[in-house]
Chain A
Amino acid sequence: MVAILEAKNIVKVYPNGVVANKGVSISVEENTIHALVGENGSGKTTLMKVIFGIEKPQDGEVFFQGRKVQVKNPHDAIALGIGMVHQHFMLAPDLTVAENLVLGQEPLKNKFVLDTKKAQEITQEISEKYKLPVPPNKKIKDLPLGIKQRVEILKVLLRNAKLLILDEPTSVLTPQETEVLFQTLRELKKYGKTIIFISHKLKEIKEISDKVTVMRDGRIIDTRDANELSEHDISFLMVGRDISYERVSASEAIGEPLLKVNNISFTNEENSPVLKNISFEIKAGEIVGLAGIEGNGQNELVEILTGLRKADKGELFLKQENINNLSPRKLREKKICYIPADRMKNGVAEKTTLEENFIVDRYCQPPFSRGFRLNWKYIEKYSKELIRKFQILAHSSKATVDSLSGGNIQKVVVARELSADPKIIVADQPTRGIDVGSEELVHNLLIDARDKGSAVFLISANLDEIIKLSSKIMVIYQGEIVARFDKIDGIRDVDLGHYMLGLKRGEV
């Protein structure tokens, strides 16, 4: 078959010194679905950005349909027939679907005014042609994620893309929405389109793609036919070693309830109820998972648990003790630890040293300080110990956090929180955006903490993670717990998906 796209020897170094592509060559055949897989930080997205003209490579050549091309910016790429659907949607939320689709090539009335009717016709036409139904007059902000993504794809198709690049399209979708997306992709293939599909979800890759290219550490490891590879093979190529995806065994020693949440409600500034009567408890030695699509009240719940926000109603208990409205400092003194979802915002101060990042919750206790005086000698020794114990890749304890990779920054956060001898651990998306190796380490650390008698509250949008680790699972939808599972064995992500989408309600 003919290669529609060829990239040769692409080298990309970012201004901060990160080498994302170390001489990458890839060839994509026409009319195939080509999966590009690899851990976070392996260079997949960078390679695609180079091809789409967002990033300028230091070295390398790109050939499109047999011709050598210079793609200087996304305009060039679109003109050639390359389209990209980004991980974070590039849509104007206050405009309608039709307006978004024609943005940049608007049909005009009297040369000045947008011809709304024409825009709607264009939308209808393209959406019927590719069998991708969208509501032309609805505003983007009122649409569910799956439909927003469909608008993005239509936008690319409207610009006559022959090659579509989809950057982790399924990361925001539920299993049900993913299935619909895959039907779409198969449909597009029938129309002769070529699709590059970036993902690190093995099951999906097997299901949808014809070819698989695996990247690791800025290099291409291998390109093969998808049916030659098992999920296990792909994972082995991605990580370079075996990783267990088995559910971990439940903890034997479950003790008394440590955290008790009683009827918590919260209404936000816009007067919409974000949390409605949330109640649950977590026992010592237990991991309770909270599944849900992001933005269904998880953030607010976590902030209430960690003292950064006050609930309107309800109570929190640590064992028998009421811990309502305590300050973050007081909660930390009571050994409630917190791994935040947005590590760069809440988890670290990136411009300063690892040492200063390790002590943020304990600098005022001996031996870190005596009286008002910091004991830097001890802090240095302690930090080196944490770096060693948690396998953090840093050249010294005085290195600044921003010199580390994403996975290692998360290890800094986890090292600090878990070394505080926690009773309760609130782990909010603890492995988001980190490599598989670090993910495994974080999982093992959480399990160790559980086995030592901590109560772990795990909030994650990653259902595999929830199912792998939790002893009990709750599903949150629009601020309500809509399902509880006390027995996990045999549960599948699709089962949870129904509740996450609000299609089903369980007995609560």
Chain B
Amino acid sequence: MDKFILNYFNTIRISIAISIGVAISLFLILIISKDPGASIGYLFLSPFLSRIRLESLISVAAPIIFCGIAIAIPFQAKIFNVGAEGALFIGAVAGVVFAIVTKMPPLIHIPLTLLVAGLAGGIWGLIPGFLKAKWNTSELVVSLMMNYVAYFLGLYIINYYFRDKAAGALVSLRISSSAWISTLPFFSRTSWSIVIALTFALLVYFLLYHTTLGYEIRTTGFNLHFAKFGGINVFKIIILAQIIGGFIAGVGGMTEIMAIHRRFNWQVSPGFGWDGVMVAIIGRNHPILIIFASLFLAYLRIGGHHLNLMSDVPYEMVSVIQSVIILLITAEAFLVQWKERITVKEAERKEIPHGTTS
């Protein structure tokens, strides 16, 4: 038993954090709701009870997966870049502009639009990366500020040059229909975007764990001095990791537009970048775990919306669960004493024969 706990400590720790988050929300619902049974059902069961909601769950997860893996790459190199939000936003702006002004056969138009969005996102990742590698600026601060730059620059471009004056709201012109991403066959809501997201997740998994570049990124993250000593050009790696991350975030933003809105309609930043930070932490920067973390987050969101709609408990209940989970996972000391006690016990049992201790 003790051995099992030690081997799977991280998984157990995250499961316990999630359970505590859920337990707290159950407790809160019990206090505030007039019909707690139904409310709990709306929050935790409803996502599975209708096909539409299940499909929405998958659609909601797609951009979160993109941003999760986008963040995970610099995180693996121990670069705390939180610029996925900005890269996603500016990527979507660039992609929308490209898809408005061009028309091509869909087979070329879709990948080309995604490429343009990715490149714009990549440039957004490059800037904090370059400043970090060159002058050791804080990538956290720079990438955070770059999010605002992306936001206002993006709105300026869309609202002044590509605004749809016929529409009743502040939105861009429609993108060419050749750049639309359609829904999957046999589905009514879920589009190909989830397939693209999963493909990227698998590619990033391969990149990180099976290529020389991935080895360089992870080794730089494990120990920068060791990487330098071994001959890795850490300057190059720090920049590359953020360019790739920015690229993926940009693609993620544009996929969302091409699959759902088909025009630029974000007047507030959509927040996927922050969801990405969250799932990267929950999924310990591992692309495959990030997929599951994203689905879990989407599940909470869908349940939360239904809860908001159907009961007297507000949507913010979801934020409570999220915050508790993140707090517990990022608190390094959480359950560490438990682990140390078991480690000590195991070691004592193995190393000290009975009789010498009294």
Is chain B a partner of chain A in the same complex? yes
A-contacting residues, B325-354, CB 8 Å: 340, 343-344, 346-348, 351-352
Report the minimum CB–CB distance from A8 to chain B (whole Å). Answer: 9
Assembled-state Cα–Cα distance A346/B233 (Å): 15
List, in ascending order, chain B residues with CB within 8 A of A506's CB. Answer: none
Task: State whether A23 touches B210 (Cβ < 8 A).
Answer: no
Measured CA separation A364–B233 after assembly (Å): 13
Instruction: Pick the most buried of A14, A346, A348, A376: most chain B CB atoms within 10 A of its CB.
Output: A346
Q: Is the CB of B347 within 8 A of A17?
A: yes
Contact at A9–B229, with CB atoms within 8 Å? no
The answer, among B219, B228, B344, B346, for a CB contact under 8 Å with A328, is B228
Do A356 and B229 form a contact, CB below 8 Å, given A9-B357, A16-B343, A349-B222? no
Q: Are A373 and B211 touching (Cβ within 8 A)?
A: yes
Using a Cβ–Cβ cut-off of 8 Å, how many residues does chain B contribute to the interface with A?
Answer: 30
Residues of A within 8 A of B211 (CB): 369, 372-374
Known A9-B357, A19-B348; judge A340-B210 contact (CB<8 A): no
Q: Which of chain B's residues has its CB closest to A218's CB?
A: B351
Asked if A327 is an interface residue, CB under 8 A from chain B, the answer is yes
Question: Do the beta carbons of B210 and A376 come within 8 Å of each other?
Answer: yes
Contact between B212 and A364, CB atoms less than 8 A apart: yes
> Is A360 interfacial (CB-CB < 8 Å)?
yes
Known contacts A349-B223, A352-B222: does B228 contact A15 (CB below 8 Å)?
Answer: no
Which residues in A have their C-beta under 8 angstroms from that of B212? 363-364, 369, 372-374
Closest residue of chain A to B348 (Cβ to Cβ) is A13
| A344 shortest CB reach to chain B, Å | 9
Across-interface contacts of A332 in B (CB, < 8 A): 230-231
CA distance A330 to B229 in the complex (A): 12
Is the CB of A439 closer than 8 A to any CB of chain B?
Answer: no
Report chain A residues within 8 Å CB of B227. 349, 360
A306 partner residues in chain B, CB cutoff 8 A: 229
Residue in B213, B215, B231 whose CB lies within 8 Å of A356 = B215
Q: How far is the CB of B6 from chain A (nearest CB, A)?
A: 9
* In the complex, chain A residues 410-436 whose Cβ is within 8 Å of any chain B Cβ: none
Q: Is the CB–CB distance between A360 and B226 below 8 Å?
A: yes
Choose one: A58, A329, A348, A351; the contact of B344 (CB below 8 Å).
A58
Cβ–Cβ < 8 Å partners of A373 in chain B: 210-212
B residues near A356, Cβ cutoff 8 Å: 215, 218-219, 222
Given contacts A13-B348, A15-B344, A17-B346, contact A348 B231 (CB under 8 A): no
Cα distance A58–B356 in the bound complex, in angstroms: 13
Per-position binary interface string of chain B over residues 172-216, scored 1 when its CB falls under 8 Å from any chain A CB and 0 otherwise: 000000000000000000000000000000000000001111110
CB distance from B115 to the nearest CB of A (A): 20
On whether A9 and B358 interact (CB within 8 A), knowing A329-B231, A374-B210, the answer reads yes
B232 in contact (CB, < 8 A)? yes
Contact B232 A360 (CB under 8 A): yes
Q: Which residue of A lies closest to B222 (CB)?
A: A349
Bound CA–CA A58/B352 (angstroms): 12
| Nearest Cβ on chain A to B107's Cβ, whole angstroms | 27
Check A350 for interface membership: any CB of B closer than 8 A.
Answer: yes
Query: Is A467 on the interface with B (CB-CB < 8 A)?
Result: no
Does A76 count as interface, using CB distance less than 8 angstroms? no
Q: Chain B residues near A14: list those with CB within 8 A.
A: 344
Nearest to B351 among chain A residues (CB) is A19
Within 8 A of A (CB), among B62-101: none
Partner of A352, one of B210, B218, B228, B347: B218
Contacts of A243 in B (CB 8 A): none
A308 beta carbon closer than 8 Å to chain B? yes
**Contact of B34 with A by CB under 8 A:** no
Q: For residue A372, which residue of chain B has the nearest CB? A: B211
**Is B103's beta carbon under 8 Å from chain A?**
no
Q: Which residues of A are found within 8 Å of B219, using beta-carbon distances?
A: 349, 352, 356, 360
Contact of B225 with A by CB under 8 A: yes
In the bound assembly, the distance between CA atoms of A328 and B228 in angstroms comes to: 7
Cβ A13 vs Cβ B222 within 8 A = no
Chain B minimum-CB-distance residue to A357: B226
Q: Which residue of B lies closest to A342 (CB)?
A: B225
Smallest Cβ-Cβ distance to A351: which chain B residue: B222
A22 within 8 A of B: yes
Q: Could you say which of A18, A23, A348, A360 contacts B356, with CB atoms under 8 Å apart?
A: A23
CA distance A314 to B354 in the complex (A): 64
Measured between beta carbons, the chain B residues less than 8 angstroms from A372 are 211-213
Question: Do A328 and B356 form a contact, CB below 8 Å, given A17-B347, A373-B211?
Answer: no
Contact yes or no, B223 A350, CB < 8 A: yes
Whether A345 touches B358, Cβ cut-off 8 Å, given contacts A352-B218, A373-B210, is no
Given the complex, which residues of A lie within 8 Å of B213, measured CB to CB?
A: 372
Is A315 among interface residues, defined by CB-CB distance under 8 A?
A: no
B229 to A, closest residue via Cβ: A346
Q: Which partner residue on chain A sits nearest B339 by CB separation?
A: A15
B229 touches which of A23, A308, A352, A369 (Cβ 8 Å): A308
Cβ–Cβ < 8 Å partners of B218 in chain A: 352, 356
A372 vs B206: C-alpha distance in the bound complex, in angstroms?
A: 11
List the A side residues contacting B229 at CB < 8 Å.
Answer: 306, 308, 328, 338, 340, 346-347, 360
**Cα(A372)–Cα(B207), bound, Å:** 9
A327, B352: Cα distance in complex, Å: 49
Could you say which residues of chain B place their CB within 8 Å of the CB of A329?
A: 231-233
Known: A9-B358, A22-B356. A374 touches B231 (CB 8 A): no
The one of A23, A351, A369 in contact with B352, judged by C-beta atoms closer than 8 angstroms, is A23
Which residues, 59 to 101 on A, are CB-close (under 8 Å) to B?
A: 59
* A 362-380 contacts with B by CB, 8 A: 363-364, 369, 372-374, 376
CB within 8 Å for A346 and B225 given contacts A13-B347, A328-B231, A352-B218 = yes
Q: In the assembly, what is the distance between CA of A14 and CA of B339, in Å? A: 12
Chain A, residue nearest B346 (CB): A17
* Complex-state Cα separation, A488 to B229, whole angstroms: 33
Does the CB pair B226–A349 fall under 8 Å? yes
Q: A23-B352, A347-B226 are in contact. Are A15 and B358 (CB under 8 A)?
A: no
Chain B residues contacting A16 (CB-CB under 8 Å) are 340, 343
In the complex, residue of chain A having the shortest beta-carbon distance to the beta carbon of B345 = A13
**Can you name 8 A-B pairs with beta carbons within 8 Å?**
A16-B340, A22-B352, A308-B229, A329-B231, A346-B229, A348-B226, A360-B230, A374-B211
A347-B226, A350-B222, A351-B222 known; 18 new pairs, CB 8 Å cut-off, are A11-B348, A17-B343, A19-B348, A22-B356, A58-B344, A327-B231, A331-B231, A340-B229, A345-B223, A345-B226, A346-B226, A349-B223, A349-B227, A356-B218, A356-B222, A373-B210, A374-B210, A374-B212
B-contacting residues of A (Cβ < 8 Å)? 9, 11, 13-19, 22-23, 58-59, 218, 306, 308, 327-332, 338, 340, 345-352, 356, 359-361, 363-364, 369, 372-374, 376
Question: Which 3 A-B pairs have CB atoms at the shortest separation, nearest pair first?
Answer: A360-B230, A329-B231, A349-B222
